[in-house]
Amino acid sequence: MGFPAESLERMYRNDMEHVVKFLNSHHQDHYKVYNLCSERNYDTSRFDHRVAHYPFDDHNPPRIELIRPFCEDVMQWLAEDKDNVAAIHCKAGKGRTGVMICALLLHQGRCLTAAESMEYYGKIRTTDGKGVTIPSQRRYVQYYGELVKRNTLYKTQTVLLKRVQLYTIPMMSSGTCCPFFTVHQHKVKIHTQEAVKGVKKGLSCVEFELPHALPIRDDVKIEFYHKSGLLKMDKRLMFHMWFNTYFIVHPIQPDKDYFGQARSHSRPTSTVSCPSPDQARAPFAEDEMLNGGEEFVLELHKDEIDKANKDKTNKVFSPNLKVKLFFARGREDQVPPTPEPSEGNLSPSQSENDLLDDQDLDDGTDSGDEDCIYETSESSVV
């Protein structure tokens, strides 16, 4: 369901009074509310303090370690009484709510694959089938589905980010761009890669080689920017992606129809302008020797990249847009670097991309569906 709002907000979201009345009249003493919003809260006494908080940011996936406790909490509550129901909400009651409900369906065994759970949720929650649409959120549903399928618990895994390749050049300025990226761990920026200047229009690939292998672990966000001027603040967010380092070393097996098709993360065989993946790179020789010499590649296509996937008309990004991230296995004593100085209080979920924010809005907004309460006796989730 959507956020139970008060004051003026209740005019376009769920009215708190209506939500309380609905739950008390239909499920008196048998409901528990699950609030997924990190940005806001309310007086839990309105729901007799039967409220659990599993917060994460709007338009972003949850921490992978948040999902299992949420599922176990809901399962325990439903098991206590056959009449118990769970009311799960975020702001609009679709994107974040959908991620956790899809994970719950996998945890319960009611859906066997992430694709099945997201298709089911899309049909039940929306009129157009677009339930969980943000690529990183969909990826984390599949991450949890893989943990369930393997019957294994999540473990922290350190990896070393060595280099990054960007295939096809976004048309940010005169058909080209000046790209750079930042790396965030636990929502804190730990690395800024220097911008590549003089990128020619039509170039098929740009490679970023890090000065030193970057230790990262757990949930990581990489944001790609276009450097639009000389000042530090002259930048425009192009796209971003979240991934979890455990699944770099223990890769997922994509579901059929996940992002439209099943893909492997194997290397392409076509020749591009980037250096050969087999080319020796001295800066990483020691790291590779110490960590067994293994190399892992995460390859994400346009429809697997947040914000870039919204460019349905290929106005800014080619349909062949792709990002490849190259890693070595890390050791637990290789800790991430000290966070970089803050540039302000910009929320990780706040957009700086004015090129795409007003078009192709299938990014986790409500697709025309009202923020209403949906009830299904079959799942005991409202």
Tell me the percentage of the chain whose pLDDT exceeds 70: 77
Equal CATH topology for 4-150 and 158-253+293-329: no
Question: Looking only at Cα atoms, what is the longest distance across the chain?
Answer: 69
Q: How far apart are CA 79 and CA 83, in angstroms?
A: 9
**Under 8 Å between Cβ of 89 and 2:** yes
Quickly state the pLDDT bin for 9 (edges 50, 70, 90).
low
Quickly state the pLDDT bin for 367 (edges 50, 70, 90).
very low
For residues 288-292, give the mean pLDDT.
48
**DSSP assignment, residue 360?**
S
**Under 8 Å between Cβ of 138 and 279:** no
Scored b (16 or more CB within 10 A) or e, 303-323 reads bbbbbbbbbeeeebbbeebbb
For residues 185-195, give the mean pLDDT.
93
Domain residue ranges in the chain: 4-150, 158-253+293-329
Query: Which are the catalytic amino acids?
Result: 90
Q: How far apart are CA 11 and CA 7, in angstroms?
A: 8
199 or 351, which is more confident: 199
Half-sphere exposure of 240 (CA within 13 A, CB side): 24
**Average predicted confidence (pLDDT) for the chain:** 83
Q: Is the pLDDT of residue 282 over 50?
A: no
The structure's pTM equals 0.84
pLDDT tens digits for 22-65? 999 999 999 999 999 999 899 999 999 999 999 999 999 999 99
Hey, which bits of the chain come out as E strands? 4-5, 14-15, 31-37, 51-56, 85-89, 158-167, 179-185, 188-192, 205-217, 219-227, 235-244, 295-301, 322-329
In the numeric block, the tokens 């996998």 are attached to 106
- In the CATH hierarchy, which top-level class contains the domain 4-150? alpha beta
Sheet-wide strand order for 179-185: 188-192, 179-185, 219-227, 235-244
Q: How far apart are CA 344 and CA 346, in angstroms?
A: 6
Quickly state the pLDDT bin for 363 (edges 50, 70, 90).
very low
- Region for 147 from its dihedrals, namely left if φ exceeds 0, alpha if ψ lies in -120 to 50, beta otherwise: alpha
Task: Of 305, 329, 308, give the one whose Cα is nearest residue 318.
Answer: 308
Q: Which fold has domain 158-253+293-329?
A: Immunoglobulin-like (2.60.40)
